[in-house]
């Protein structure tokens, strides 16, 4: 597949629409070409600058979609118009497509009650859904190989991993060695939203690109994460844009 990308602070971000992203994934499933999709936000770019492992994962991902409005802004400052593609929406649409083709899906992550409710709710929303495997995200590293083996045996076409970044991306890299044909996407807190545990930001916040603000108001413990990374990210992207534009 020929990707059209643009760099944000040294990391490729795919330039595509929501529909093109879905189409590409379905094409890859059909061609048995596994992929790792990263739904990137400013925190993750900052993290990649501090972690070689995560930086390499981000650089080697098969698709990097701008989950955060900060990434969309960084591209805009460089004169690139790119829509925001929230990972939660992309994952939801991929589930809908997998239902149509009866592709098996696996879900890993979140607390036990959250994953249970997520599975129940997805089954009632998508009556034909084929969930081949699911597991909560609180397991010890000694159990990891066993979990990956069970996951691989269930032969899912699509695997949604909700362990938060970078844990989910690192876990995905390990899985891919045994499951080269599957599509993996790290979905952060999506199961918390789908299960009803956490409320999704109202449309107003989403349209304004301020979902992060709503989540911070609802979960004030997130402030620490944001203030540690966002100002530095913004500073760097402004400098990057000034260099490129000047
Ligand atoms: N989580 C998990 N195992 C862990 C750590 C986190 O399953 O060891 C889950 C957590 O329960 C939550 C998700 O990972 O459902 C992370 O959500 P967060 O809101 O931090 O992700 P974001 O959307 O910000 O990437």
Whether residue 194 contacts residue 186, with contact meaning beta carbons closer than 8 Å, is answered with no
- Element (H or E) spanning 80, and its range? none
Atom 19 of ligand 1 has which residue's CA nearest to it?
189
pLDDT tens digits, one per residue of 157-209: 999 999 999 999 999 999 999 999 999 999 999 999 999 999 888 988 888 88
What is the 110 CA–ligand 1 centroid distance (Å)?
A: 6
Strand residues in 172-219 grouped as ranges (E)? 183-186
In a domain, 23, yes or no: yes
Mean pLDDT throughout 94-100? 98
Q: Specify which residues 65 forms β-bridges with.
A: 39
Q: Compute φ and ψ for 226, nearest 5 degrees.
A: -70, -45
In a domain, 2, yes or no: no
Number of domains present in the structure of the chain: 1
Mean pLDDT throughout 62-82? 95
Separation of alpha carbons 175 and 152, rounded Å? 8
Separation of alpha carbons 22 and 27, rounded Å? 9
Looking at the chain, the whole-number percentage of residues with pLDDT higher than 70 is 100
11-14 vs 5-8, strand pairing mode = antiparallel
Ligand 1 atom closest to residue 219's alpha carbon, by position in its atom list: 19
Mean pLDDT throughout 53-62? 98
In a domain, 69, yes or no: yes
In a domain, 6, yes or no: no
The pLDDT score that the predictor gives to residue 219 is 86
The pLDDT score that the predictor gives to residue 212 is 85
Atom 20 of ligand 1 has which residue's CA nearest to it?
164
Domain that residue 34 falls in? 15-245
In a domain, 231, yes or no: yes
- Tokens at 54, concatenated: 């995560």
Separation of alpha carbons 17 and 83, rounded Å? 7
Order across the sheet with 105-109: list the strands.
63-66, 35-40, 183-186, 158-162, 105-109, 131-135
Atom 18 of ligand 1 has which residue's CA nearest to it?
189
Ligand 1 is surrounded, with C-beta below 6 A, by 109-111, 137-138, 162-165, 167, 188-189, 191-192
Whether residue 22 contacts residue 90, with contact meaning beta carbons closer than 8 Å, is answered with yes
pLDDT tens digits, one per residue of 10-22: 999 999 999 999 9
pLDDT tens digits, one per residue of 125-160: 999 999 999 999 999 999 999 999 999 999 999 999
Average per-residue pLDDT for the chain: 95
Ligand 1 atom closest to residue 165's alpha carbon, by position in its atom list: 25
What is the 211 CA–ligand 1 centroid distance (Å)?
A: 17
Three-class SS state of 131: strand
What is the 163 CA–ligand 1 centroid distance (Å)?
A: 4
Question: How many Å separate Cα 10 from the centre of its chain?
Answer: 19
Report the candidate in 99, 42, 14 with the shortest Cα–Cα distance to residue 237.
42
What is the 116 CA–ligand 1 centroid distance (Å)?
A: 15
- Element (H or E) spanning 74, and its range? helix 69-77
What is the 52 CA–ligand 1 centroid distance (Å)?
A: 21
In a domain, 8, yes or no: no
């Amino acid at each position: 597949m020929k990707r059209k990308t643009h760099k944000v602070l040294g990391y490729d971000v795919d330039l595509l629409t929501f529909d093109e992203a879905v189409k590409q994934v379905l094409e890859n499933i059909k061609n048995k070409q596994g992929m790792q999709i990263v739904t990137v936000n400013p925190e993750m770019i900052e993290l990649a600058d501090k972690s070689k492992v995560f930086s390499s994962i981000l650089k080697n991902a098969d698709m990097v979609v701008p989950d955060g409005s900060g990434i969309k802004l960084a591209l805009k400052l460089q004169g690139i118009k790119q829509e925001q593609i929230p990972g939660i929406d992309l994952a939801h649409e991929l589930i809908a497509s997998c239902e149509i083709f009866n592709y098996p899906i696996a879900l890993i992550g979140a607390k036990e009650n959250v994953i249970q409710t997520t599975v129940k709710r997805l089954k009632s929303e998508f009556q034909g859904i084929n969930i081949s495997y699911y597991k909560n995200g609180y397991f010890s590293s000694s159990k990891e190989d066993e979990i990956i083996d069970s996951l691989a045996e269930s032969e899912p076409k699509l695997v949604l991993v909700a362990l938060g970044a970078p844990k989910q991306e690192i876990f995905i890299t390990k899985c891919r060695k045994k499951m080269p044909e599957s599509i993996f996407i790290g979905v952060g807190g999506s199961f918390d939203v789908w299960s009803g545990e956490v409320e999704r930001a109202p449309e107003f916040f989403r349209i304004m690109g301020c979902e992060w603000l709503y989540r911070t108001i609802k979960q004030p413990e997130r402030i620490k994460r944001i203030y540690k990374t966002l100002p530095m990210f913004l500073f760097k992207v402004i400098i990057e844009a000034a260099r490129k534009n000047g």
